[in-house]
DNA sequence: AATTTAAATGCAAATTATTTGCATTTATCA
DNA sequence: TGATAAATGCAAATAATTTGCATTTAAATT
């Protein structure tokens, strides 16, 4: 995928931080916090505030989606990644991707029945429980 | 529902704040923030910190579930309420309950296929989009 | 009913996450 | 190459949540 093009298509100026942010997100197998993204931005080394702003703008343009794992901070992942959901350990935070998404019919059905909404931009589906390590304790 | 009994069953001391918190949550049609719960606690008038602690303890015992609407603070609702999910407006925050939950099979299937998890305590499913008022603008 | 005790609460202060204001720099376009 | 609007950095503000510690209270025991 061409990050420069992605940025241009979304009316963003092509800056080193934004390019590297896209790269970092695309390489990550799990949703990342702002702090985690920031630490991976070794080439551009932007200010933490800049990372907040970049990700916020990406979210607004639906380039990334926000994932809430009920930790103490938001997580983000590229929207371009395959639709999937997550298993989250409520004790240690351990995370597992659940590949594939069988929710699209349900989403459409929900919208069809709604009187306030006629379209959607995305959805989140997280499953909480104890991972095998935490069950032992 | 008998709130005193609910508290005792969960090894909580029966205090005015906890009783009223359960009452307030049970009367609410939408998930509430800590601040909103606090403002409704007119009889017991506890400190805001106490509300944080009460809800945290309730969550630990699965009396309430946390709902993330991607606003700037967490929301909570009684677990006893029917399993359902939410339509959330990404612009104005407008919220609509989607009654019923057809996700249990999917949750069980996900767990069956997982190597790290063998059980779950709950799940969240939120659908994001623009409500009809915000679409107009 | 009075006494004991662990748990619950209040208050002040700390911590963490996120945002804002403003001055400076930089990507883009004429 | 120069002009300009957007992007960035830095300091400080705000918002959400947590912690420490002293005091109060529910409930178990006498």
Q: From the CA of B57 to the C1' of C6: give the distance in Å.
A: 17
Q: Say if strands A122-129 and A85-89 run parallel, antiparallel, or are unpaired.
A: parallel
Handedness of CA B109, B112, B113, B117 (dihedral sign): positive
Give yes or no for a contact between A89 and A130, defined as CB atoms under 8 angstroms apart: yes
**Which residue of A31, A91, A107, A117 to mutate against B (max B Cβ within 10 Å)?**
A117
Picking from A114, A128, A131, the nearest residue to B96 by CB comes out as: A114
Q: Say if strands A64-67 and A75-78 run parallel, antiparallel, or are unpaired.
A: antiparallel
- C-alpha distances in angstroms, A85 versus A88, A89, B34, B118, B120? 10, 14, 27, 16, 14
Give yes or no for a contact between A55 and A93, defined as CB atoms under 8 angstroms apart: no
Q: How confident is the model at residue A39 (pLDDT cuts 50, 70, 90)?
A: very high
Longest dimension (CA), chain B: 51
Measured between alpha carbons, how far is A10 from A18 in angstroms, rounded to an integer?
12
User: What is the Cα gyration radius of chain A?
Assistant: 17
pTM here is 0.91
**What is the residue-level pLDDT of chain B in tens, covering all 137 positions?**
699 999 999 999 999 999 999 999 999 999 999 999 999 999 999 999 999 999 999 999 999 999 999 988 999 999 988 778 899 998 888 899 888 888 988 999 999 999 999 989 889 999 999 999 888 87
Contact with chain B for residue A13, Cβ under 8 A:
no
Task: Provide the pLDDT for residue A23.
Answer: 98
Q: What is the pLDDT of residues A100-114, one digit of tens each?
A: 888 988 999 999 999
Residues 6+ apart with CB under 8 A from A67: A31, A74, A75, A76, A77, A86, A124, A126
Give the count of alpha carbons within 13 A of B76, CB side only: 24
Which SS3 state, helix, strand or coil, does residue B70 take?
coil
Residue A13: other Cβ atoms inside 10 A: 7
Contact with chain A for residue B90, Cβ under 8 A:
yes
pLDDT at A1 over 90: no
Task: Provide the pLDDT for residue B100.
Answer: 84
Q: What is the pLDDT of residues A7-26, one digit of tens each?
A: 999 999 999 999 999 999 99
Contact with chain A for residue B101, Cβ under 8 A:
no
Q: What is the pLDDT of residues A65-104, one digit of tens each?
A: 999 999 889 999 999 887 788 999 988 888 998 888 889 8
Task: Provide the pLDDT for residue B1.
Answer: 67
Q: From the CA of B45 to the C1' of D29: give the distance in Å.
A: 31
């Amino acid at each position: 995928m061409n990050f420069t093009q992605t940025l241009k298509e979304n009316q963003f100026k092509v800056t080193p931080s934004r390019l590297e942010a896209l790269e970092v997100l695309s390489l990550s197998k799990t949703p990342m916090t702002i702090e985690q993204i920031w630490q991976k931005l070794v080439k551009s080394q932007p200010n933490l505030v800049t990372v907040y702003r970049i990700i916020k703008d990406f979210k607004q343009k639906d380039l990334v989606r926000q994932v809430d794992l009920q930790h103490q901070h938001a997580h983000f992942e590229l929207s371009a990644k395959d639709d999937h959901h997550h298993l989250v350990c409520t004790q240690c935070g351990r995370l597992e991707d659940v590949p594939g998404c069988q929710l699209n019919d349900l989403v459409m059905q929900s919208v069809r029945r709604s009187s306030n909404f006629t379209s959607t931009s995305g959805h989140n589906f997280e499953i909480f429980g104890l991972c095998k390590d935490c069950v032992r304790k």
